[in-house]
Chain A
Amino acid sequence: MKRLAGRTNAIAFIVVAGLLAILPAFLANNYQVSILILVALYTILTVGLSLLMGYAGQISLGQAVFYGMGGYITAWLTVRAGWPPLAGMAIAALITAVLAYIIGIPMLRLRGNYLAMVTLGLNVIFELIVIQETAWTGGPDGFRGIPKFSLGGLVLRTDLEMYYFAWFVALLVLMLSLNIVNSRVGRALRAVHGSEIAAETMGVNTAHYKVQVFVLSAVYASIAGSLYAFWLGIISPSVYHISFSIELVVMVAIGGLASVWGAIFGAATVTLLAEFLRNTLPHLLRGASGEQEIIAFGVILILVMIFLPEGVTTGVMLRYRRWRAGREALKEIKKSAETMGAE
């Protein structure tokens, strides 16, 4: 069974990578390429949050903090300290991991409502620091002049180059996550999600695993943040607002909790929907401005949580399996009834 799952994943992996490789040939313009770069970055963010919410059963409404830390530390190291991009990205991820570990230990003892509020609070404080500490962060105007990503003599100048690099990293992250899910750690995490007390009785150190997933999700977010900074060359506080953290929760809700592949689906759906609404709403509502699309996200969140609380992909799959199992059972009953009739 496990080998089968491994083979299915490998095939899915090759298919997805192949599709992503030829996709740019069908894109009409640079705008569409940049949307798909965003989808790649959000996929990286969503996978981490999906593991945290689905496996550790913890909610974080502050993932934008780690996304921002990746961006700002990378920016500072490459611009002010003159480090090469890859080193900046790696050190940013490391610092983010250490910080996530330190705050994760006390924080993950909280549950539900309190954890949600504390992570939200962290996000608010992070945004204030970024706005206030102008000398370090550039303040509300943003941090400018971040170099393009380069490795040796190779510089990623165009959006298309960035597209391939971002998806390369996203697929690496997906592969790593699939491996984690199907390993001993993954089984322990599932046990934690099923019943924390039962898991602890079986000798699983639940607190330990929860912090590990939290750190992992923070590192993913940091990497995505670094890529974002390299890509645009400027980062500003508005990107790291709490509404972005919540948007990520919408992506997880659509992609499905604890679903690695669902992350791509969730990230793509929300990003494309947001762009679509941003482009069409002003026509529908004369002179509409701003972020009316949040109303759609709000309604989606409510509907998903009422009807498919495991998330759209996971929920639909569960229901399909149940329906198929039900049909098969029905067939069995009919068959046995027929044989009985024959006798």
Chain B
Amino acid sequence: MALESQLLQYLFTGVTVGSIYALIALGFVVIHNVTGIVNFAQGDFAMLGALVAVTLTTRTPIFNRVFVADFDLPLPLGIVLSVLIVSLIGAVLYFLAIRPAKGASIVSLIIITIGAHFAFQGLALIAWAADPYGLPVFTRGGPLEIHGAILTRQNLWVIGVTAVILLALYLFFERTMLGKALRACAINRLAARLMGIDANRMALLSFVLSAAIGAMAGIVITPSTFMGYDSGTFLSLKGFVAAIMGGMNSATGAVVGGLLLGIFETVGAGFISSGYKDAIAFIVLFAILFVRMSVGVRKGQSQFEEVGM
């Protein structure tokens, strides 16, 4: 393969993978903006979305083959139901684990969402065992070939769905009252409350919204890669790195961060070593934090240890 088509191939793959990171990062940003919490279970929403969709649309033995789920719903219906179910799970997480811990320290909240991550992973293991699951591609047909690089139809679906979600979110935040209330909470929680916005309801909404975005990300990637009970860990970690790359509180930043991370990873795996692919995200993370820290020192900020808070 010529270098040009190889690079193009990396770009296609990178953007596809990056779209998923971007969606997970968006979930992080939405929750973090409204509540100040970093939700380590964000990647599990993607895992749950995918596995619930698989269960609804194909014959799947569950609970250690004690039951066989035989709903056999058409794929679009299965996807919509799965997103709704995972949104509900997001609400349950908020009511059971986040709301009761009101006023807890950051370390406590981190540990709570890590606990939630463990709980989701354990539940998924009980429900679906340790098997990898896949979904059928959304539309059949041969791949596109551009300058010797291959772009599958599912890749197009991933990129397209990401774009649609972005547009929908943009409209929601800019054009609806509810979206504006959420943004107000993100900018200044106290001021928003003084204006009569119910901060608790907004926090709940941010969890539901993030869960829905996460579920959609998981569903759309599953025809290309397998999904298993423990897939959530790396999706969380990389989505978080992408969110930091984008500054942690900007939706646009999260998307750019996600796409860049996807491209870095694919190029790095292709040119350097595929064995260390999963390390790339963290090397990027260390580099960013290091640069920010040294910039903070140069600017003479006395509070430079607050980097990234």
Interface residues of chain A, those whose CB is within 8 Å of chain B, are: 53, 57, 59, 61, 106, 109-114, 116-118, 120-122, 124-125, 128, 131-132, 207, 242, 246, 249, 253, 285-302, 305-306, 309
Contact = CB atoms under 8 A, between A and B. Distances in A.
B111 A121 contact: no
A116 B110 contact: yes
A294 B121 contact: yes
Contacts, number: 152
Contacts of B120: 298
Contacts of B110: 59, 112-113, 116
A329 to B, nearest CB: 26
Interface in B58-104: 63-66, 96-97, 100-101, 104
A113 B38 contact: yes
Contact of A124 (B112, B273, B282, B308): B282
Contacts of B123: 295
B108 A285 contact: no
Q: Is the interface of A mostly helix, strand, loop or mixed?
A: helix
B237 A109 contact: no
Nearest to B111: A305
Nearest to A302: B115
B307 A114 contact: yes
B111 A249 contact: yes
B240 interface: yes
B139 interface: no
A252 to B, nearest CB: 9
Q: Is the interface of B mostly helix, strand, loop or mixed?
A: helix
Contacts of A291: 122, 125
A125 B279 CA distance: 5
B101 A305 contact: yes
Contacts of B114: 61, 246, 249, 298, 301
Interface of B: 38, 63-66, 96-97, 100-101, 104-112, 114-123, 125-126, 129-130, 233, 237, 240-241, 244, 273, 275-276, 278-279, 281-283, 285-286, 289-290, 293, 304-309
A299 B119 contact: yes
Contact of A53 (B107, B115, B233, B307): B107
Contact of B64 (A112, A117, A120, A286): A286
B115 to A, nearest CB: 3
A114 B108 contact: no
Contacts of B308: 110-111, 113-114
B106 A112 contact: yes
A45 B38 CA distance: 26
Contacts of B289: 110, 114, 118
A124 B276 contact: no
B279 A124 contact: yes
B307 A128 contact: no
A306 B118 contact: no
A302 B107 contact: no
Contact of A301 (B112, B304, B309): B112
B115 A112 contact: no
Given A111-B305, A298-B116, 4 more contacts: A113-B106, A291-B125, A294-B125, A296-B122
Given A106-B293, A124-B282, A294-B122, A306 B107 contact: no
Contact of B97 (A120, A131, A300, A306): A306
Nearest to A121: B282
A305 B282 contact: no
Contact of B307 (A110, A121, A246, A285): A110
7 contacts: A111-B309, A112-B110, A121-B241, A124-B237, A249-B111, A292-B125, A301-B114
Contacts of A128: 275-276, 278-279
A59 B285 contact: no
A111 B306 contact: yes
